[in-house]
Amino acid sequence: MTVLNFIVLLPILNAIAIACGAPARKSALLSAWTQLALTIVAMCGYRGGFAYGSTWAVAPEWGLNLTFGADGLALVMLLLTAIVTVAAVWVTPKIEKRENLFYACVLLISGGAAGAFASVDMFFFYAFHELALIPTFLLIGIWGQGERQVAAWKITIYLAVGSMILLVGLAKLYLAFPEGARTFDMIEMTKARHLIPAAEQGGIYIWLLVGFGVLISLFPFHSWAAPAYAAAPTPAAMLHAGVLKKFGLYGLIRIAVPLLPEGAKVWMNLLLVLLVANILYIGLVTIAQKKLDWMLGYSSVMHMGYIFLGIAAGNAIGITGASLLMLGHGLSIAALFAMCGYLRQTSPSLAFTSLGGIAKKAPFLGYAFGMAAFASIGLPGFANFASEAMVFFGAFKAGPAATLDFSSIQLATVCGLWGVVISAVYMLRAYRQIFQGEPQANVAAFKDPSCSIKWSVILLLAALMVGGLWPKSMLNFIQPSVEALIGK
């Protein structure tokens, strides 16, 4: 047993214990903090390559082994999972019905995400993600608000279809290797990537792009995200938007980028069109929103376009920036949803017209929301700024340097830069309407949140600032792993 085994299995075992009657909130908090502590220990002891490996034979005759191992990129994603899990459990209000099942579902999402990031075996990489999806549907359908049943069914159908398409793509990838070289071990697959015929890569890549794209909310497969996050209970929105949605992006970096470089070239222009639509079209849709929860939901969809742009660059600086942006976006959107959840508890409506002047009643909330909004916009000092800068530089570098004619990816980068302006418009407008001006009558009794919510938001903002003021702390883990993946 290695520390990685405990990081993955601890939340799953605690979820089972809570479902069987263990004290719900205390057990969940202890599990979340222990998971975070173990992740920090693993990062402090990391010395490069794939570390903390362990293998349990499941079906040796088929080559199926539950194999864990983590490089620097996986450890950063495990850190994101652990931090957001602590915050999500910490901000959870009093649960009136089926409290034990609620906390068990929250921990299963965390354990499933951790298992996916830590899995070296492609089959279990997929299986752990599916494990995390099931409690997501339950949390929305049972404890959600508004049209929760509609939202739960919509996200279920979309993500189930996306998962099936992804499964076909992974199967086609497995079969693309010569018979004697077939394996589910992603490390061995990367070493043998030269065995995949270039002519077959385009046909495999499109299956992975669409499958992962649906899970990530790539345009035009995005319509499930905003209603699901608006209906979801706060911890579910934090964990899915902040962590679980990164599974598809991580999968593209871990599988599609190193194994299917020729396939990526075939579909490059299509991907660029879709990611620009994520940034510009969804950005304009976000500006049009009149309620905070829907605005944050569409904002999360929009920012996926930047990460896709870094992945499309195909070079070390772009993919490293995309990986760091996964961390920055996960932390910032989790903080925003945490505060949105508190506003939902204390205000009769999240419509901008029903709010106003809250900063005078709740100064901490006004300050913290402003910080998280600035991080989401990409203000210097936060991890989002450092990562978005790397994405733009990497994407522009991917085009030709010795000509005045822009390539398609350089044009997409120029278009993507306008997304920074769009995000500033909708975030600053929302902040002004919610927190500035004179307090509305229905927020007259408003006050700052409890210490548990305050400290969870502080934890997320502190991690964002560490990644922004000292990005090397994360880049030292990410960059060598990315360079190893792309063979640089």
DSSP string, 8-61: HHHHHHHHHHHHTTS-HHHHHHHHHHHHHHHHHHHHHT--SSSEEEEEEEEEGG
Range 41-66 average pLDDT: 82
Q: Lowest-pLDDT range, 20-29, 174-183, 330-339?
A: 174-183
| Residue 209 pLDDT | 94
Is the CB of residue 87 less than 8 Å from the CB of residue 334? yes
pLDDT value for 327: 95
Residue-level pLDDT at 403: 57
CA distance 242 to 84: 7
Q: How far apart are CA 319 and CA 145, in angstroms?
A: 37
Peptide bond into 93 cis (omega under 30): no
Instruction: Note the residue count of the chain.
Output: 488
Here the tokens at position 270 are 């299509």
Digit-coded pLDDT (tens) for 462-474 = 999 999 999 999 9
- In percent, the amount of the chain with pLDDT more than 90 equals 54
Q: Give per-residue pLDDT as tens, 96-113.
A: 888 899 999 999 999 999
At 457, the pLDDT band (50, 70, 90 cuts) reads very high
More confident: 478 or 49: 478
What average pLDDT does range 149-156 have in this prediction?
Answer: 87
Tokens of 306: 């930047």
What's the pLDDT at 429? 92
Q: What angle do CA 361, 334, 123 make, to 5 degrees?
A: 165
Task: Tell me the average pLDDT across 248-274.
Answer: 92
How much is the average pLDDT of 273-300?
Answer: 93
DSSP state of 381: T
- Tell me what pLDDT residue 49 has: 85
Q: Are 297 and 226 in contact (CB under 8 A)?
A: yes
Query: Among residues 113, 115, 125, which one has the least CA distance to residue 239?
Result: 113
Q: Which of 159-173, 277-291, 341-355 has the lowest mean pLDDT?
A: 341-355
Q: What is the DSSP letter of 63?
A: T
Which has more pLDDT, 241 or 58?
Answer: 241
Determine the pLDDT at residue 472: 92
* pLDDT at residue 48, as a whole number: 83
Position 368, amino acid: A
Q: How far is CA 279 from CA 94, 395, 416, in A?
A: 37, 15, 6
Between CA 237 and CA 239 the distance in angstroms is 6
Query: Does residue 404 register a pLDDT over 60?
Result: no
Q: What is the pLDDT of residues 164-210, one digit of tens each?
A: 999 999 999 988 888 877 788 888 888 888 888 888 899 999 999 99
CA 454 – CA 466 distance, rounded (Å): 18
**Own/partner pairs for 349-355, CB < 8 Å, 24+ apart?**
349/291, 349/442, 350/291, 350/292, 350/293, 351/290, 351/291, 352/290, 352/291, 352/292, 352/430, 352/433, 352/434, 353/290, 353/433, 354/440, 354/442, 355/292, 355/433, 355/434, 355/440, 355/443
Among left, alpha and beta (phi > 0; psi -120 to 50; other), residue 449 is beta
What are the tens digits of pLDDT across the range 203-241?
999 999 999 999 998 998 888 888 999 899 999 999 999
CA pair distance 107, 36, nearest whole angstrom: 13
Q: Taking the complete model, does pTM exceed 0.85, yes or no?
A: yes
Instruction: Report the range of poorest mean pLDDT among 54-63, 319-328, 404-413.
Output: 54-63
- Whole-angstrom distance, CA of residue 301 vs CA of residue 286: 9
- The per-residue pLDDT for 405 is 66
- Sorted by where each begins, the domain ranges of the chain are 267-488
Tell me the average pLDDT across 360-365.
Answer: 86
What gap in Å lies between CA 297 and CA 229, rounded to an integer? 6
pLDDT for 61: 67
Predicted confidence (pLDDT) at residue 267 exceeds the cutoff of 80 = yes
Q: What number is the average pLDDT over the span 256-283?
A: 92
Lowest mean pLDDT among 25-29, 31-35, 272-276, 346-350: 346-350
The percentage of the chain sitting over the pLDDT mark of 70, rounded to a whole number, equals 96
Using pLDDT thresholds of 50, 70 and 90, give the confidence band for residue 1: confident
Q: What is the pLDDT of residue 78?
A: 96
| Across 108-123, average pLDDT | 92
What is the reported pLDDT for 12? Answer: 94
Both tokens of 158, joined, read: 């979309």
Lowest-confidence region among 380-389, 419-428, 439-448: 439-448
Residue type, 278: N
Q: What is the average pLDDT score of the chain?
A: 89
Comparison of pLDDT for 108 and 352, the residue scoring more? 108
